[in-house]
Amino acid sequence: MSEFRLLHTMLRVMDMDTSVDFYTRLLGMKLLRRTDYEGGRFTLAFVGYGEESDTAVLELTHNWDQKEPYEIGTAYGHIALGVPDIYATCEKLAAEGVKIPRAPGPMKHGTTVIAFIEDPDGYKVELIEKK
């Protein structure tokens, strides 16, 4: 077994408060830490379902001087979250105004039930039903 471990994935965000709200209130993560770096003019927030010492987390980076939305790029795919009832989850998220570009249902050529939502910056988040 490797001594390496995945620590985090970083996403650049335009509005830190909106993004923290999305990942914590709507997707149930906890805000683990948030730090402003005055000299570098940026803020980092780490959110996740467990402590950084045990699980991989999401690092949200807000560069204070960024005026235009980021281009997500063609190499970026998505992050994936396991959810117990994907249909109820998507109903609740839709009621909050979350974009759902792929409604819940079985994936093509398979039986796994998935959906895709978008965070406030347009990053794709795949939801996978876990029973």
Question: Considering only CA atoms, which of 89, 93, 83, 88 is closest in space to residue 118?
Answer: 93
Q: Count of H helices and E strands in the chain?
A: 2, 8
Catalytic residue among 71, 96, 118, 126: 126
- Residue ranges of E strands in 1-131: 8-12, 30-37, 42-48, 57-63, 79-83, 102-106, 113-118, 124-129
CA neighbor of 51 nearest in space, from 32, 24, 70: 32
| Cα–Cα distance for residue pair 62/11, rounded to 1 Å | 9
The reply to whether 91 belongs to the active site is no
Q: Which residues are catalytic?
A: 126
